[in-house]
C-alpha cells in the first residue's frame, strides 16, 4: 500500500501542477471556458458568469498549490480532502459534458492539449481512483522537509502562483498555444488540404410504410422506399478535418474583405471583441498608436463584434479615425487575450502581438510605402455633381456633357474627407456636369 500511495502521490501531484500551470498561463481563456459551462445550455448558472475570471484564478492557483502540497507532504489531511472534493466535482462536470454532448473541450490543459469530452472524463476517472488511494493511505503521506521549510515552500507556491496569474492577465500568456501565436499564418491556418478526411454522417430516414413507422439508415443518399416520408435525423459518426482557424473573418456590413487584408503587408490590427467593454486605459492609447503607425507607413484597422453605432461612438470618444471591421466575438477572444489587444500582420503572418498595457513596446520601424493605384475601383471614390457614384456610371457619361473632372490625390485632402464621411478611399474623382 505504501508503494502504491507513493506512486499515486507523485503522479497526481505532478499532473495537478502541470495542468494548473497551463491554465494559470491563460486564466482569461479558462474563464471563457467556465462561462461556457455556466451558460443556460450547460449548467444553467448564468449568475456565475460575471465571476468567471475570479473563479478561474482561484481554481487554478488552488490546483497548483495542492499539487505542491501533495509532493512536499504539507498538511496531508487537508490536501487529500481538497483533492478529492475537487476531482469529484470535475469528474461530474466532464461526465455531464460528455454524456449530454454540451462542451466539446473541457479546457483541462488549456490550448496546449485538446481532449474530447470522453477523454476528459476518462482522465478524471483515473485521477479519482488515484486520489481515493491517497485518501485511504493518507497516513503514508509524510513530509519530506522540516516544518519551517514546508511552511516556506507552501507559502512560496501560493505567492508565486498568484503573481504569475496576475502577470499574464496584465500582459499576455507567457506561452501562446493558440493558432494566432507569433509566427503563425492565419491564411494557412484556415486552409483545408485537398486530401483532408471528410466528415461521415449517418442519416436516419423515417417513413410510414403500410401504416407502420420505419427508420432507414443511409450515409446521405435518399432511400428508395414506397411510403410516406415523415422526417430525417442525422448523426456525425466520424469527424472530418477541422482547420486550426475556422471562425476568423474581416467583414464590412455587406462584404467579406478577409482575403484582401490577409494579403496586406505592414498591417496593424486593433482587436476589441466588445467595444462596450473596452478597457478605457487601453482605448486612450489608440490615438497615439494610430498616429505612430500611419507616420511610419503602416495601415491600421480595428476588429470587433460590436455594432456600427458603438464603433462611431468609440471613434469620436477617443479621437481615432481608423475603420472598425466585423469579426466573430469568440474568434477575437482567441486571437489576443486583451480588450483591446494589438497584432501586426504581414501577408497574414502574425509578426507582433501585445496587450494594451504593452502597446508602447510595439516595434514600428519606418517602412517603404508602396504607391497606390488610384484607379482601383475598391479604393477610389467617384462623385457625380457632389453625390457619391460609381466608376461604371461616370465612364458611361457622354464626354460632351462633362464640365470638369477633378482627380484628387493629395493625402491630407483625402484623409480629411475620409474622417468627415467615415470612408476609406485612397483617391477621389469628382465629376461636374455642364447642366450644373
* pLDDT band at 110; cut points 50, 70, 90: low
Least-confidence region, from 71-75, 172-176, 396-400:
396-400
Question: Is the pTM value of this prediction over 0.85?
Answer: no
What is the residue whose three cell numbers read 470522453?
Answer: 118
In three-state secondary structure terms, 72 is helix
| Tens of pLDDT, residues 191-211 | 988 888 888 889 999 998 888
- Please give the DSSP secondary-structure letter assigned to residue 222: P
In three-state secondary structure terms, 191 is coil
* Dist. CA 258–CA 249, nearest whole Å: 5
* Dist. CA 206–CA 222, nearest whole Å: 11
In three-state secondary structure terms, 63 is helix
CB 273 within 8 Å of CB 303: no
| Tens of pLDDT, residues 341-378 | 999 999 999 999 999 999 999 999 998 765 544 333 44
User: How far apart, in Å, do the first and last CA atoms of the chain sit?
Assistant: 99
| Nearest-5° Cα angle at 38, 35 to 44 | 150
| Tens of pLDDT, residues 205-254 | 999 888 888 898 998 888 888 888 899 988 888 778 888 898 899 998 87
* Dist. CA 21–CA 34, nearest whole Å: 17
CB 217 within 8 Å of CB 203: yes
The upper half-sphere exposure of residue 323, i.e. CA atoms within 13 Å in the direction of its Cβ, equals 19
Helices (H), 45-146: 52-72, 76-99, 117-136
pLDDT given for residue 432 in this prediction: 87
* Dist. CA 233–CA 235, nearest whole Å: 7
Residues ≥6 apart with Cβ < 8 Å to 149: none
Residue 431 grid cell: 465629376
Residue 256 grid cell: 467579406
Element (H, E) at 292: helix 286-295
Q: Torsions phi, psi of 429, nearest 5? A: -125, 115
Long-range contacts of 225-230 (CB under 8 A, 24+ apart): 229/205, 230/206
* Dist. CA 379–CA 418, nearest whole Å: 12
| Nearest-5° Cα angle at 171, 35 to 183 | 95
**Which of 175, 182, 183, 178 is CA-nearest to residue 18?**
175
Mean predicted confidence (pLDDT) in 152-167: 96
* Dist. CA 68–CA 45, nearest whole Å: 31
pLDDT given for residue 104 in this prediction: 66
* Dist. CA 273–CA 340, nearest whole Å: 8
* Dist. CA 25–CA 23, nearest whole Å: 5
Which is more confident, 285 or 384? Answer: 285
Which is more confident, 181 or 36? Answer: 181
Amino acid at each position: 500500500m505504501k508503494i502504491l500511495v507513493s506512486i499515486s502521490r507523485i503522479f497526481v501531484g505532478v499532473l495537478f501542477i502541470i495542468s494548473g500551470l497551463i491554465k494559470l498561463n491563460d486564466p482569461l481563456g479558462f474563464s471563457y471556458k467556465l462561462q461556457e459551462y455556466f451558460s443556460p445550455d450547460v449548467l444553467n448558472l448564468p449568475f456565475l458568469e460575471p465571476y468567471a475570471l475570479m473563479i478561474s484564478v482561484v481554481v487554478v492557483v488552488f490546483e497548483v498549490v495542492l499539487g505542491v502540497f501533495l509532493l512536499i507532504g504539507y498538511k496531508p489531511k487537508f490536501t487529500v480532502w481538497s483533492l478529492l472534493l475537487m476531482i469529484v466535482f470535475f469528474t461530474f462536470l466532464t461526465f455531464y459534458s460528455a454524456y449530454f454532448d454540451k462542451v466539446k473541450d473541457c479546457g483541462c490543459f488549456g490550448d496546449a492539449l485538446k481532449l474530447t469530452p470522453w477523454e476528459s472524463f476518462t482522465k478524471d476517472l483515473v485521477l479519482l481512483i488515484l486520489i481515493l488511494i491517497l485518501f485511504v493511505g493518507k497516513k503514508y503521506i509524510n513530509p519530506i522537509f522540516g516544518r519551517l521549510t514546508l511552511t516556506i515552500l507552501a507559502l512560496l507556491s501560493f505567492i508565486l502562483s498568484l503573481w504569475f496569474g496576475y502577470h499574464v492577465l496584465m500582459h499576455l500568456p507567457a506561452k501562446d498555444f493558440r493558432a494566432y501565436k507569433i509566427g503563425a499564418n492565419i491564411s494557412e491556418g484556415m486552409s483545408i488540404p485537398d486530401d483532408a478526411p471528410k466528415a461521415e454522417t449517418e442519416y436516419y430516414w423515417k417513413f410510414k410504410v403500410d401504416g407502420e413507422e420505419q427508420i432507414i439508415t443511409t450515409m446521405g443518399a435518399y432511400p428508395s422506399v414506397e411510403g410516406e416520408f415523415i422526417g430525417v435525423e442525422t448523426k456525425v459518426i466520424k469527424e472530418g478535418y477541422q482547420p486550426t482557424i475556422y471562425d476568423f473573418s474581416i467583414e464590412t456590413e455587406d462584404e467579406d474583405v478577409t482575403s484582401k487584408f490577409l494579403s496586406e503587408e505592414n498591417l496593424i490590427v486593433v482587436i476589441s471583441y466588445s467595444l462596450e467593454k473596452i478597457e478605457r486605459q487601453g482605448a486612450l492609447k489608440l490615438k497615439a498608436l494610430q498616429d505612430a503607425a500611419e507616420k511610419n507607413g503602416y495601415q491600421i484597422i480595428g476588429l470587433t463584434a460590436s455594432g456600427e453605432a458603438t464603433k462611431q461612438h468609440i471613434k469620436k470618444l477617443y479621437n481615432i479615425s481608423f475603420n472598425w471591421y466585423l469579426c466573430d466575438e469568440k474568434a477575437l477572444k482567441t486571437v489576443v487575450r486583451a480588450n483591446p489587444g494589438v497584432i501586426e500582420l504581414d501577408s497574414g503572418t502574425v509578426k507582433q502581438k501585445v496587450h494594451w498595457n504593452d502597446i508602447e513596446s510595439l516595434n514600428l520601424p519606418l517602412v517603404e510605402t508602396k504607391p497606390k493605384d488610384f484607379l482601383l475601383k475598391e479604393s477610389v471614390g467617384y462623385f457625380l455633381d457632389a453625390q457619391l457614384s460609381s466608376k461604371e456610371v461616370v465612364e458611361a457619361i457622354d464626354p460632351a456633357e462633362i464640365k470638369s473632372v477633378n482627380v484628387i490625390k493629395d493625402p491630407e485632402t483625402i484623409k480629411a474627407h475620409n474622417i468627415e464621411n467615415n470612408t476609406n478611399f485612397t483617391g477621389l474623382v469628382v465629376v461636374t456636369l455642364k447642366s450644373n
